Structure 1
Amino acid sequence: MQEVYEFLKKCGTYYLATVEGDQPRVRPFGTVDIFEGKLYIQTGKVKNVSKQLQANPKAEICAYADGKWLRVTGKLIRDDRVEAKKHMLDNYPELQSMYSPEDDNTEVLYFKDATAVFYSFTEEPKVIKF
């Protein structure tokens, strides 16, 4: 999982796909954290992405850097603990003007039953499960 985290940090921006009814939804994201041995992302509960994930937690992210790309599939599970939110926001101080660990909007989610696959045109795919 550390390799997945480092790749996503290196990319800076990755793309998160969710489902709304029968329509896929994709948007850029940039937050990623490891807390208590789990890979986390962050958003706001007021956003459509949050509502989509609560209705259907299956999600996929995709990122690209240096001729390689990564796809991570799994379920994103909400963690409402202040400690998890604080850990994320401590790593992204630029978000602290918009989010707080104690507010009712900040949402952190961790991947459960995740499969990450690194791809390139020159190497065999590398699979990591966590």
Structure 2
Amino acid sequence: MQEVYEFLKKCGTYYLATVEGDQPRVRPFGTVDIFEGKLYIQTGKVKDVSKQIQANPKVELCAFADGKWLRVSGKLVRDDRVEAKKHMLDNYPELKGMYSAEDDNTEVLYFEDATATFYSFTEAPKVIKF
């Protein structure tokens, strides 16, 4: 999982796919954190992406850097603990103007039953499960 985290940090931006009814939805994301041995992302509960995840927690993300790309699929689980939110926001202080660990909007979610696959045109795929 550490390798997945480091790749996503290096990319800076990754793309998260959710489903709304029968329509896929994809948007850029930039937050990633490891807290208590789990890979987390962050959003706001008022956003459509949060509502989509709560309706169907199966997601996929994709990121690309240096001729390699990463696809992570799994379920996202909401963690409403202040400690988890604080950890994320401490790692992204620029978000503290919009979010607070104590507000009702900040949402952090961790991957459960995730499969991460690294791809390139020159190497065999590498699979990591966490």
Q: Report the TM-score when normalising by structure 1.
A: 1.00
Runs of 4+ in 1 over 3 A off after TM superposition: none
Per-residue displacement from partner, 1:30-75 (whole Å, max 9, x unpaired)? 0000000000000000000000000000000000000000000000
Question: In structure 2, what is the Cα distance between the partners aligned to 1:65 and 1:34?
Answer: 20
2:90 paired residue number: 90
Distance in structure 2 (CA, Å) of the matches to 1:60 and 1:95: 23
By how many angstroms is 1:9 displaced? 0.1
- 1 CA distance for matches of 2:76 and 2:20? 15
Distance 2:86 2:2 in 1: 20
Give 1:83 deviation, angstroms. Answer: 0.2
What SS does the corresponding residue of 1:89 show, helix, strand or coil? helix
- Find the residue that maps to 1:124 and give its secondary structure: coil
What is the deviation of 1:11? 0.1
User: Helix, strand or coil: the match of 1:96?
Assistant: helix
Match of 2:31? 31
The match for 2:15 is 15
Q: Identity percentage over the alignment?
A: 90
Aligned residues: 130
Unaligned runs of 5+ in 2: none
Cα RMSD (Å) of the superposition?
Answer: 0.2
Distance 1:107 1:128 in 2: 25
Q: How far 1:24 moved relative to its partner?
A: 0.2
Q: CA deviation at 1:17?
A: 0.1
Distance 2:51 2:43 in 1: 11
Shift of 1:110: 0.2
Aligned to 1:75: 75
Secondary structure in 2 matching 1:99:
coil
Aligned to 1:119: 119
**Secondary structure of 2:97 counterpart:** coil
